[in-house]
Amino acid sequence: MQRSFILLVIICIFLIGLIACTSQEKPFQPAEFTVKLQPNPLDSTLTDIYVNNVKKDQSQLFITLPGVEVQHYHQAEFHKGSVYVIRRKYPFSEFPDQWKDELWKYTSMKKGACIYSSRGMDFRVSPQERNIALVSDTTLYFIDATDGSTITHFYPSELSNVPAKDLQIQPLAWTTGGTFFWGSLYRTVNIFTFFRIIAETWEVDFYDVNSLNINSSDFALNTESGMLVYSNFPVIFDVDTYQQVKRSKIRVNLYLYDLKSGESKLLATTHSKEFKPQWLSSRTIEINNPEGDGRIILSL
């Protein structure tokens, strides 16, 4: 009788754990594949698109295309065997200013289809390839990944309480399970707000951080936990200012900040250089060595 009771308790604990794991986001997972663009060596009008297996450190040519927007900082993504890429089209060769960007999807069979078109865009595809978060002009759209139809959209005023004008929307990332989408509002290089949108209901949570004076070039957000690592490295717009900062030996601090609770913790200090933090897991980050060259890993 006692053995049966113990067995029943173990089964119940297992089932409860299974339900809890499936109802929440998956733990932090680094990217398994990245996309790299290179000019075609034989034709300057073409771009070779490679898919890189991060774990194996191996790259393979996926497809070669004309008209790829190579100047974009986030030109392409790889999901479940398909590549999503921005292509720039010039409908009239005699009017080079009349261009538009198109978001294309290419399957593993190299079959391509245009999903969305607008004049300038930035995008992030959800892990399940159901929705795409796409910024065009000053609007954040969520579109159907199959046909590009608009599901909903948001303006900057709906994503923040900061009374500032001319704020731009920066798409950041989906969570691993695709439950939430994260982004930020910025002006020039200063971040004013981080926001999180629930994909099923399109409810918005936002966290105003304008008082922290976050430089958009030196931060990393863990989208699974809402933990932010950032420094107070000064904003730099030109080479002369950069050289002046290097000579000044200014003190630069690295902080861990909980967006949900507002709690802050000093992690490291250096002088006149950026930390360039990167999340490796839910409890570890990689940063520039504050006391020398190279990179080091910090456990939080």
Q: Read off the pLDDT of residues 141-177 as tens digits, 9 standing for 90 and up.
A: 999 999 999 999 999 999 999 988 899 999 999 999 9
Answer with the residue of higher pLDDT: 244 or 204: 204
Structure tokens at 206: 């936002």
Confidence of residue 22 (pLDDT cuts 50, 70, 90): very low
Residue 283: helix, strand or coil by DSSP?
A: coil
Range 71-90 average pLDDT: 95
Question: DSSP E strands: which ranges in 92-203?
Answer: 100-106, 112-118, 122-125, 131-136, 139-144, 150-154, 168-174, 180-187, 190-198
Confidence of residue 11 (pLDDT cuts 50, 70, 90): very low
pLDDT, residue 243, reads 80
- Percentage of the chain modeled with pLDDT above 70: 90
Structure tokens at 83: 């590549």
Contacts of 87 (CB under 8 A, 6+ apart): 65, 67, 68, 69, 101, 102, 104
Reply yes or no on whether the pLDDT at 16 is more than 70. Answer: no
pLDDT, residue 29, reads 58
Reply yes or no on whether the pLDDT at 15 is more than 60. Answer: no
pLDDT, residue 144, reads 97
- What is the average pLDDT score of the chain? 89
C-alpha distances in Å from residue 94, one per residue of 90, 91, 97, 119, 297: 9, 9, 9, 18, 53
Structure tokens at 65: 């295309």
Answer for the pair 145, 124: CB distance below 8 angstroms, yes or no. Answer: no
Rounded to two decimals, the pTM is 0.85
Range 208-217 average pLDDT: 91
Range 84-108 average pLDDT: 90
Answer for the pair 60, 39: CB distance below 8 angstroms, yes or no. Answer: no
Find, among 199, 215, 191, 195, the residue nearest to 260 by Cα: 195
Reply yes or no on whether the pLDDT at 9 is more than 50. Answer: no
| 277, amino acid identity | P
Confidence of residue 105 (pLDDT cuts 50, 70, 90): very high
pLDDT, residue 4, reads 52
